[in-house]
Structure 1
Amino acid sequence: MYRLIISNNAVKQSSKIPKPIKEKVDERIKNLSDNPFPPDCVKLKSSKSSYRIRQGEYRVVYTVD
Structure 2
Amino acid sequence: MYQIIFTKQADRTLRRLPRNLAKRIREKLVQISESPYGRHNNVTKLQQRSGYRIRVGDWRIIYEVEDDKLVILVLKIAPRGGVYE
> Does the TM-score normalized on the shorter chain lie above 0.5?
yes
Deviations 1:24-49 (A, max 9, x none): 0011112221111232011001224x
**Deviation of the 1:11 alpha carbon:** 0.8
Q: Percent identity?
A: 28
Give TM-score, length-normalised by structure 2: 0.67
Give the structure-1-normalised TM-score: 0.84
Deviation at 1:19, TM superposition (A): 1.0
How many correspondences in the alignment? 64
Counterpart CA distance in 2 for 1:38 and 1:16 is 28
- Which has more helix, going by share of residues? 2
Alpha-carbon RMSD across the aligned residues, in angstroms, is 1.3
- Gapped regions of structure 2 (runs ≥ 5): 67-85
